[in-house]
Chains A and B, each alone.
Chain A
Amino acid sequence: MSLMIIRRALGALLLISAPLVAQDTTRGVRIGLTYDPGARPGVVVLPGKGVGADSIRAIIQRDLDFGDRVSVIELDAGALGEANRAASPNWRVLAKLGAAAAVQVTLTSTGLHLAVYDVPKQTTALIRDYVAPPMSQMRGWRAVLHGLSDDLEESFTGTRGIARTRVLFARANRLWAVDSDGEQMVLVAETGTPLSAAWHPNGTMITYTTLIPSQVVVKDLSSGRERTVAGGSGVFISPVFTPDGSSVVYGHGVDDGVDIYIAPVTGGGGRRLSVGRGSDNVSPSFSPDGRRIAFMSGRAGHPEIYTMDADGTNVDLLTPLEFGENAHRAAPDWSPDGGSVAFHSKIGGTFQIMTISLRDRGLKQLTSDGRNEDASWAPDGRHLTFTSNRSGVKQLWVLDVETSRSRQLTRGAGEARNPAWSPRLSSN
């Protein structure tokens, strides 16, 4: 855990001991913290004043913690009490705690006010105001706060956080979306057994299939409007948008296996891309540059991961061919940096999440606890979400590939499966 509890008996923690030099800074200024990949900058989230202060602090701390790039330094009750009485940061004590930066966020009449303090330099490094809906509009308010956390992470480490993202998933034959911190679960689609949702690169539209009737749907999340992109007899499976957002690529089959098709979002029918000759070809996933598609195919007699050009030519087997009834590799997801493909593979009678490097075909096994499948990368290319039964019931979990830390994302009744992590969102 990157949440560290520092020294219980801190007395007059945050009283003024040095004059504060406040300065206004331009937006986006990088705070001069050295980011050493082996260590993480320690950050204190100071208690704010007034309404919502506790929630604000808790949400930011959790966002930074879940980002796995910054160490959140926790303050104990005594320190918190002192801090609530102090007017400005106690640089000496903050430095003693090992903090490289301190953050303070307060609720204003128009949204949120952020101040970031550079502890070694003992200066205010950043002041910024955010427009946010009132706290009563909880989902919209939290989204702005998550965006603030992402700004912080970018300031501290150079990499933007993923707090302002959501994950789509299926549960009880319905589609749901949940915030990256596991909160604010909302129903997205419920009629006709919707499945297999995926995000448009702009984060405002999604695509998914329904079973009854059999079709591929594109839905605008802000307006709620839906349209059918492809439909009819047979089955439609695993739709995704092309990286330029203009078309939907999906699996479709009637009598002779399932092949991968492409159809423009605006309508006009589907065109076949893969030539499966009766085998199943599903779960397309684009390389970030849009040039290649990874997909699962049963053409070798059992499921393996293949890649092909975006026009369906130059099919190439990606995973090393395995013989025997047990071989089963499926559900590829191309990493945001284009360097690897995550998938699940049958290992030891159950399924585990693996990655394969596109450079040298090196394989890495990422999970080992329980049965794990259906990986979906976060936009930072470092976290991914997947379905796991390790808690006894299938739920979504999040894994940090760099540290192997995992956390449970969904809770509650009913199996959660089929996750899709959104791009970074700028509007909800």
Chain B
Amino acid sequence: MTRRIVLSFVVLLGAAWLGACRKKPEPAPAPAPTTVALADNAASQRRADSIAAEAARRRADSIAAEAAHRRADSLANARGGSATDADAQRVQNVLRQNLSQAVYFDYDKDQLRDEAHVILDGKAAILMANAAVTLAITGHTDEQGTAEYNLALGQRRAAQVKRYLVSKGVEEGRLTAQSLGDSQPAVQGTDEASYQQNRRAEFVAGNASGALARPRS
């Protein structure tokens, strides 16, 4: 019972400072090409699909995380440890998960979606609360273009993410943006669902071996 209250509190806290920190998204730096109406519909559909896919993913992730927490709790209780240690561990897991969570992109685009802004705001807050931590950003693409084109596109995606984090107040020197193009797909497959999972920016935190401080609002 206590676990659920504490967990709900942490989630509410998280939601509260996420809501407080969220600002209007930045305009895309590159000039937008002239679009055709048909393509807009397709793009909207893809966005709707990806929002659904991302929500499903996060639900699955949090269900898995909750199961892991319960296992950790029962272990702690069996060892006679206090509920607070498990809570602290849970907070650390959530923070690290936020730091490493990927963001996804539309086909042939480097613009950040709304969901991506939310996720990046979370990363920015954690980075601001932990001044030593660095973040390596790698941009990836699906396999649909040529290797060279995809390298450049991946770099643009990583650079967009980095630019956004810097605009949130993260020191530029703590962030690196690299591209791996289409060379390391997250999933094999030639359908749109697979392609969507490969069009991403991934994050690896550095200098983060110790306990992470929680962001304040």
Chain A positions near chain B (C-beta within 8 angstroms)? 170, 173, 193, 195-196, 211, 214, 233-235, 237-238, 251, 253-258, 278-280, 282-283, 296, 298, 301-303, 323-327, 330-331, 344, 373-374, 387, 417-418
Q: Would A211 and B180 count as touching, CB distance under 8 A?
A: yes
Residue numbers in B under 8 Å from A214 (CB-CB)? 178
Residue numbers in A under 8 Å from B179 (CB-CB)? 211, 234-235
Partner of B180, one of A193, A279, A301: A193
Residue numbers in A under 8 Å from B152 (CB-CB)? 235, 237, 251, 253, 258, 280, 282
A254-B36 CB under 8 A given contacts A282-B149, A418-B148: no
Partner of A234, one of B35, B39, B146, B155: B155
A255-B29 CB under 8 A given contacts A195-B147, A237-B148: no
Please encode chain B, from 16 to 47, with 1 for each CB lying within 8 Å of some chain A CB and 0 for all others: 00000000000001111111100100000000
Sample (10) of A-B pairs whose CB atoms are under 8 Å apart:
A211-B179, A214-B178, A235-B151, A258-B155, A278-B29, A279-B30, A283-B148, A301-B31, A330-B146, A374-B146
Q: Would B33 and A257 count as touching, CB distance under 8 A?
A: no
**Minimum Cβ distance to chain B for residue A175 (Å):** 11
**Minimum Cβ distance to chain B for residue A405 (Å):** 25
Q: Would B183 and A173 count as touching, CB distance under 8 A?
A: yes
Question: What total count of A-B pairs have CB within 8 Å?
Answer: 103
Partner of A325, one of B29, B35, B151, B155: B35
Residue numbers in B under 8 Å from A280 (CB-CB)? 149, 152-153, 156
**Minimum Cβ distance to chain A for residue B151 (Å):** 5
Is B120 at the interface (CB under 8 A from chain A)? no
Chain B positions near chain A (C-beta within 8 angstroms)? 29-36, 39, 146-149, 151-156, 159, 162-163, 176-181, 183
Q: Would A324 and B34 count as touching, CB distance under 8 A?
A: yes
Chain B's closest residue to A344 (CB) is: B146
Chain B's closest residue to A373 (CB) is: B146
Q: Would A196 and B148 count as touching, CB distance under 8 A?
A: yes
Partner of A331, one of B30, B146, B159, B178: B146
What is the bound-complex CA distance between A76 and B183, given in angstroms? Answer: 49
Q: Would A418 and B30 count as touching, CB distance under 8 A?
A: no
Residue numbers in B under 8 Å from A373 (CB-CB)? 146
What is the bound-complex CA distance between A73 and B177, given in angstroms? Answer: 59
Chain A's closest residue to B183 (CB) is: A193
Partner of B34, one of A253, A255, A301, A330: A301
Q: Would A234 and B147 count as touching, CB distance under 8 A?
A: no
Residue numbers in A under 8 Å from B33 (CB-CB)? 301-302, 323-325, 327
Q: Would B148 and A303 count as touching, CB distance under 8 A?
A: no
What is the bound-complex CA distance between A298 and B34, given in angstroms? Answer: 13
Chain A's closest residue to B32 (CB) is: A301
What is the bound-complex CA distance between A278 and B31, given in angstroms? Answer: 10
What is the bound-complex CA distance between A170 and B181, given in angstroms? Answer: 14
Residue numbers in B under 8 Å from A418 (CB-CB)? 146-148
Chain A's closest residue to B42 (CB) is: A325
